[in-house]
């Protein structure tokens, strides 16, 4: 299922658009959940300056349908030579590095996750150091672990993850900070919580239940969660995730006191999200949602992650704030998914 153009425009409109700048941006992993939205957002923001030419989408696949009208190149992000060629050919000055294998997928193929996630980070930062580029490369709450404080987890704390995804993201954070100090790379990162989107299918993460629930609710009126009923995790709606990315990329460097920031929206459990979805369905004249719980291997991963994040540094340094709470997320997800699932 591909996101409709109207969906992309709607998400883009939800993000405050700062003054366009003349950056030439290369996005790795552009075919992923966040990448698809971010490519089109940057194209819209840079349209007055020639947006199509200023944004280069890349991924390992041949040109996906959603990028038919975009500048697109096939790229294995671990191929540093090919990455450098694209940077030179398109006069790139900013890399948005999204290519990564997520938590659940990474646990099924840990060696592949290590190769892609570690190798991609090294290739991007090496090219950035050589060419003097800015790098935005998001991290994740998977970078934390069972010894991390789980409530209002701070930016600076114990980080001993138990997944390959988390291990490689800690490596990304530390390597980015090192390249900033050693080679002057302008490295910026946010630790994303679970990200919900109505425009893209789940991408192999431990928080995917929070997207799957809407599809099953509308298709069958029932959902069985692969996490237990009371597993609280921090979450964020896609428009807020996009805002966090573009705002940090554009923030004046002198305002930043660190390279990696926590960002978050709301925290909820499968039981709480199910209740909110059920309430919205009843209000729309439908039967209440039937919830079930059958935890699988992802439960052990979720049990090592924060229940909530402290993102006060991001709010103070570059004005970060979220706009979507649980009710707003549920309302918007159902509003956009229902007509699409009916084929309208």
- CB contact set of 184 (below 8 Å; sequence gap of 6+): 129, 132
Span 188-201, pLDDT tens digits: 999 999 999 998 77
Please report the pLDDT score of residue 18 as a whole number.
46
Tell me the C-alpha to C-alpha distance, in Å, between residue 15 and each of 18, 33, 335.
Answer: 9, 16, 19
Mean pLDDT of 45-51: 70
CATH topology of domain 5-15+23-339: Rossmann fold (3.40.50)
Mean pLDDT of 47-66: 81
- CB contact set of 192 (below 8 Å; sequence gap of 6+): 34, 138, 139, 140, 141, 236, 241, 244, 263
- Would you kindly state where each structural domain of the chain is located, as residue ranges? 5-15+23-339
Q: What is the pTM of this model?
A: 0.91
Span 19-30, pLDDT tens digits: 445 589 999 999
> From CA 238, how far away is CA 287, in angstroms rounded?
27
Proportion of the chain above pLDDT 70, given as a percent: 92
- Active-site positions read 165
Q: Rounded to 5 degrees, what are φ and ψ at 194?
A: -65, 135
pLDDT at residue 111 above 50?
A: yes
């Amino acid at each position: 299922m591909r996101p409709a153009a109207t969906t992309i425009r709607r998400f883009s409109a939800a993000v405050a658009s700062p003054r366009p700048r003349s950056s030439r941006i290369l996005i790795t992993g552009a075919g992923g959940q966040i990448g698809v939205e971010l490519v089109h957002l940057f194209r819209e923001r840079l349209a007055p300056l020639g947006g199509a030419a200023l944004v280069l989408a890349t991924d390992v696949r041949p040109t996906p349908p959603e990028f038919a009208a975009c500048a697109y190149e096939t790229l294995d992000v671990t191929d540093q030579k090919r990455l450098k060629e694209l940077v030179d050919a398109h006069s790139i000055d900013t890399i948005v590095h999204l290519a990564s294998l997520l938590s659940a997928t990474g646990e099924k193929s840990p060696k592949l996750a290590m190769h892609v996630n570690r190798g991609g980070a090294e290739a991007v930062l090496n090219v950035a150091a050589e060419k003097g580029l800015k790098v935005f490369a998001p991290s994740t709450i998977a970078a934390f672990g069972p010894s991390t404080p789980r409530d209002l987890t701070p930016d600076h704390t114990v980080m001993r993850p138990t997944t390959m995804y988390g291990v490689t993201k800690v490596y990304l954070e530390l390597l980015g900070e090192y390249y900033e100090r050693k080679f002057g790379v302008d490295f910026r990162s946010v630790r994303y919580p679970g990200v919900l989107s109505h425009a893209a299918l789940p991408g192999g993460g431990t928080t995917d239940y929070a997207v799957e629930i809407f599809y099953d609710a509308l298709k069958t009126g029932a959902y069985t969660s692969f996490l237990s009923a009371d597993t609280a995790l921090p979450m964020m709606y896609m428009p807020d995730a996009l805002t966090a990315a573009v705002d940090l990329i554009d923030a004046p460097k002198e305002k930043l006191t660190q390279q990696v920031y926590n960002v978050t929206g709301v925290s909820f459990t499968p039981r709480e999200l199910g209740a909110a979805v059920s309430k919205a369905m009843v209000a729309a004249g439908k039967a209440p949602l039937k919830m079930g719980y059958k935890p699988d291997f992802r439960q052990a991963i979720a049990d090592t992650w924060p229940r909530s994040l402290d993102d006060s540094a991001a709010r103070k340094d570059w004005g970060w704030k979220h706009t979507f709470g649980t009710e707003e997320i549920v309302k918007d997800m159902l509003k956009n998914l229902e007509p699409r699932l009916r084929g309208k």
